[in-house]
Amino acid sequence: MEAVPREEQAQLHPLRRHRGRRHEPQAPREDLPSAGPADMPRAASGRVRGAGAVAREPVQGGVQECGSPEAVGVRQDPELVEFVGGLLDVPAGESEFKGGAQHYLDYIEEMVPDIEWGKNIRVVLDIGCTDASFGATLLEKDAITLSFGLMNDQTDLAQLALERGFPAAVGNLGTRRLPFPSGVFDAIHCSDCNIAWHASGGKLLLEMNRILRPGGYFIISTAHGDIDREEGMSRLAASIGWNIMAHKTDEVSELSAKIYQKPTSNDIYELRRRKEPPLCKEDEKQDAAWYTPIKACLHKLPAAIEQRGTDWPEEWPKRLETYPEWLGDLQEKVTADDHHWKAIVTKSYLNGMGIDWSNIRNVMDMKAIYGGFAAALAPQKVWVMNVVPVHAPNTLPIIYERGLLGMYHDWCEPFSTYPRSYDLLHADHLFSRLKNRCKHPIVVVVEMDRILRPGGWVIVREKLDILNPLETIFRSLQWEVRMTFAKDKEGIICVQKTAWRPPS
């Protein structure tokens, strides 16, 4: 196949994030530099499991020194990182929390024993991202944490978390909903995140209430109390029916932690003396989260057994393959999807494509349905970001119910992450679904190039009339085509990104 002409190659530079669609007006901010040089692969991911250990070996896979304010801030704190061979190294066991993240998590669980990290609590959202020690330590307990870095927070280190091999995303916490379904996080954590939750009619806390599972926990801790904020937060939490489960100051970490629990019944809303904030209208869709404004209202909690959220999921790992009653007839489809992807991953992906999975840590399924691909990879030392396109059926709640992570996204736009964040991208019939939405497949491929690190892999399954032009685009980027297969007008291609860039 012929390569794309040179004049078209000029269009293949990585896209920058959209700056005109942010939730809040703010000064433009450049993307952070790459977390590693273009020709330097990360070391094996088998060492990721340590609470404070870096995801890759220090010399090969630390974070390259860069001029971003976030990285500069980290280098100034010798307790969190060491500067080794021109790279940042996070020593094992080091943490932003005095006494270590392990002590901090034990302290929280002692306050509320029902939390049971990794069993009762599996899926956690951490607002604000520092050194990722919170999520790293939870991973040791089989709880998976999505660190949500705030774009306007100059101490956000989501890029460092991704480089270390831990789940992270970036975005704005402002006037629009976050790209998650309602009632999916078992717990939400915020430590010294400096957010006025009660401001603007409490919209930010109401958004946390929307995405928090009924009976889930909101954990907030701070070393420097603000009386006005604490009083405002307490009034708002009481008005939405959150129960204070515990409030205590830890002498070791020197943090004052307060743990709230979201109600499981609508009765508490009816018992309020003042109906503020009011209940949302019946036709207000809780799961609508793409460019959807946050409204200052409370959604009713599920009450019928066929509604999602009436029962707490099974303990992990039973949760991955135990399907709730509210799935109804979908249980058969989820089971079939699981068997389908387990067969493909075992027989083809793990052994038949030449991929060294010891070098794979951050994986993205660009068109997830029920999480079958991610479930098939569960025995591997990887984590998967399950992306459900906004134009597809809303299956993301099912993915969370199984104890997996995911986000909504429109692939005609850039994904909200830093450049070179992922090691492997998987796209199953994504392009055929986008051909009537995006102007040209090059737009999507360019975004894939931006978020995939050099040496990373792409697996695409598609119709041949779409796959053949895609192969031409991949070759024009000088990517290595490692495997192709075609049968009955369907095909698969496996390519590996190189360090090539168009001449300036």
Does some domain include residue 10? no
Does some domain include residue 379? yes
Statement: residue 225 has pLDDT above 80 = no
Do residues 479 and 395 both lie within one domain?
Answer: yes
Among the candidates 270, 293, 312, a domain finishes at 270
Q: What's the one-letter identity of residue 491?
A: G
Q: If DSSP states are collapsed to H, E and C, what string results for 241-285?
A: CCEEEEEEEECCCCEEEEEEECCCCCHHHHCCCCCCCCECCCCCC
Q: End-to-end CA distance of the chain: give it in Å, rounded.
A: 25
Does some domain include residue 194? yes
Does some domain include residue 79? no
pLDDT at 64: 37
Which pair of structure tokens corresponds to residue 176? Answer: 């629009």
365 with 385: CB under 8 angstroms?
Answer: yes
Do residues 163 and 260 both lie within one domain?
Answer: yes
Do residues 258 and 332 both lie within one domain?
Answer: no
* Neighbouring C-beta atoms of residue 15, cutoff 10 Å: 17
Which pair of structure tokens corresponds to residue 478? Answer: 């000088």
Which pair of structure tokens corresponds to residue 287? Answer: 């799961």
Statement: residue 31 has pLDDT above 50 = no
357 with 160: CB under 8 angstroms?
Answer: no
Do residues 477 and 342 both lie within one domain?
Answer: yes
Side-chain-side CA neighbours of 139 within 13 Å: the count stands at 26
Does some domain include residue 70? no
149 with 169: CB under 8 angstroms?
Answer: yes
Among the candidates 252, 270, 288, a domain finishes at 270
Which CATH number belongs to the domain containing residue 216 in this structure? 3.40.50.150
Give the C-alpha separation, 44 to 32, whole Å: 24
The three-state secondary structure class of 393 is coil
* Neighbouring C-beta atoms of residue 485, cutoff 10 Å: 12
* Neighbouring C-beta atoms of residue 454, cutoff 10 Å: 19
Do residues 246 and 366 both lie within one domain?
Answer: no
Give the count of domains, the chain. Answer: 2
Strand-pair partners of 185 = 212
Do residues 217 and 357 both lie within one domain?
Answer: no
Report pLDDT digits (tens) over 463-489.
Answer: 999 999 999 999 999 999 999 999 999
pLDDT at 94: 64
Give the C-alpha separation, 403 to 83, whole Å: 36
Phi, psi (degrees; rounded to nearest 5) at 34: -60, 145
pLDDT at 389: 97
The three-state secondary structure class of 327 is helix
Report pLDDT digits (tens) over 433-458.
Answer: 998 888 788 999 999 999 999 999 99
Does some domain include residue 61? no
Closest Cα partner for 110 from 229, 248, 205, 275? 248
Do residues 240 and 331 both lie within one domain?
Answer: no
Within 82-144, where are the H helices? 101-111, 133-140
Do residues 224 and 349 both lie within one domain?
Answer: no
Do residues 458 and 393 both lie within one domain?
Answer: yes
pLDDT bucket at 71, cuts 50 / 70 / 90: very low
* pTM of the predicted structure, to 2 decimals: 0.86
Give the C-alpha separation, 462 to 429, whole Å: 5
Does some domain include residue 414? yes
Q: Based on the number of CB atoms within 10 Å of its own CB, is 197 exposed (0-12), middle (13-18) or buried (19 or more)? A: buried
Give the C-alpha separation, 111 to 245, whole Å: 8
What mean pLDDT value characterizes the chain? 84
Among the candidates 270, 297, 312, a domain finishes at 270
Q: What is the chain's length? A: 504
Detail the DSSP E strand segments found in 144-197: 144-150, 168-171, 185-191
Q: What's the one-letter identity of residue 423?
A: D
Give the C-alpha separation, 414 to 170, whole Å: 12
Report pLDDT digits (tens) over 79-124.
Answer: 556 767 767 677 666 678 899 999 999 999 999 999 999 999 999 9
Does some domain include residue 17? no
Helix (H) or strand (E) run with residue 330 in it: helix 330-344
Q: What's the one-letter identity of residue 271?
A: L
Q: What radius of gyration, in Å, describes the C-alpha atoms of the chain? A: 23
Do residues 465 and 348 both lie within one domain?
Answer: yes
Report pLDDT digits (tens) over 344-388.
Answer: 999 999 998 999 999 999 999 999 999 999 999 999 999 999 999
pLDDT at 201: 87
pLDDT at 24: 33
Do residues 395 and 485 both lie within one domain?
Answer: yes
Do residues 108 and 256 both lie within one domain?
Answer: yes
Statement: residue 43 has pLDDT above 50 = no
pLDDT at 10: 34
Within 16-62, where are the H helices? 58-61
Give the domain range for residue 431.
326-496
